[in-house]
């Protein structure tokens, strides 16, 4: 877990390389859907452009499909999911149905000023529509109100680090 711009993708890549496990980036999955012009992509784009979270049932269905493609994997990193306690509970159910469970939740803690700097720079370099100052501020508010409580949820599960 970590706020937008905290380095989740970068750190996930390092873990994937070191341990040979798979990586599911919800952002990458959604951007691919948008690029391919799928119905899901069109729906998701509306939420993303407004700095909103994708509805839980939509995300769990997408992730279940991607997760199922990694059946022989040593493990999977979920990057950018769950973002809310209801998503964490839905993910737990989805994994349990497959005889799996979350091993650990890692939290990347980066000061908000640094997050803004990173995301504005990334927006200029990549042209990502969701990396402009107004949308970044909305995303950080959403993170602080909806995603940050996951720390306590996973502490209660004994899986927070």
Give me 81's structure tokens. 């999911």
| Cβ atoms 159, 95 nearer than 8 A | no
- Of residues 72 and 153, more confidently modeled: 153
Domains belonging to the chain, first-starting first, are 8-156 (3.40.50.300)
Residue 10 CB partners (closer than 8 Å, separation 6+)? none
Give SS3 for 92: helix
In the predicted model, what is the mean pLDDT of residues 91-117? 91
Q: Is 31 assigned a catalytic role?
A: no
Give me 100's structure tokens. 């799996």
Supply the pLDDT for residue 160.
86
The pLDDT-based confidence of 125 (bands split at 50, 70, 90) is: confident
Query: Which of these is catalytic: 31, 128, 151, 159?
Result: 128
Element containing residue 63 per DSSP (H, E): helix 56-68
Residue 127 CB partners (closer than 8 Å, separation 6+)? none
Angle at 138 between CA 134 and CA 143, to 5 degrees: 145
End-to-end CA distance of the chain: 10
The pLDDT-based confidence of 2 (bands split at 50, 70, 90) is: confident
Listed range (1-10, 89-98, 151-160) with the worst mean pLDDT: 1-10
Distance of CA 4 to the CA centre of its chain: 9
Q: What is the pLDDT of residues 51-99, one digit of tens each?
A: 887 888 888 887 888 898 887 888 999 988 888 899 999 999 999 999 9
Measured CA to CA, the distance from residue 21 to residue 79 in angstroms comes to 13
Q: Is 118 assigned a catalytic role?
A: no
Q: Is residue 134 predicted with pLDDT exceeding 80?
A: yes
Q: Is 83 assigned a catalytic role?
A: yes
Query: Which of these is catalytic: 122, 138, 151, 159?
Result: 122
Looking at the DSSP bridge assignments, the partners of residue 79 are 25
Could you tell me the pTM of the whole model? 0.75
Q: Which of 32, 15, 39, 145 is CA-nearest to residue 83?
A: 145
């Amino acid at each position: 877990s970590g706020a937008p711009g905290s380095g989740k993708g970068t750190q996930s890549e390092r873990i994937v390389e070191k341990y040979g496990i798979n990586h599911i980036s919800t952002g990458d999955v959604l951007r691919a859907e948008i690029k391919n012009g799928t119905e899901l992509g069109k729906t998701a784009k509306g939420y993303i452009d407004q700095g909103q979270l994708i509805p839980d049932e939509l995300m769990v269905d997408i992730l279940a499909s991607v997760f199922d493609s990694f059946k022989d994997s040593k493990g999977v990193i979920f990057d950018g999911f769950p973002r809310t306690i209801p998503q964490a509970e839905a993910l737990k159910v989805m994994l349990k149905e497959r005889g799996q469970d979350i091993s650990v939740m890692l939290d990347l803690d980066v000061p908000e000023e640094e997050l803004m700097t990173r995301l504005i720079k990334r927006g200029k370099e990549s042209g990502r529509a969701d990396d402009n100052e107004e949308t970044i501020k909305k995303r950080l508010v959403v993170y602080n109100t909806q995603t940050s409580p996951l720390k306590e949820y996973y502490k209660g599960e004994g899986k927070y680090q």
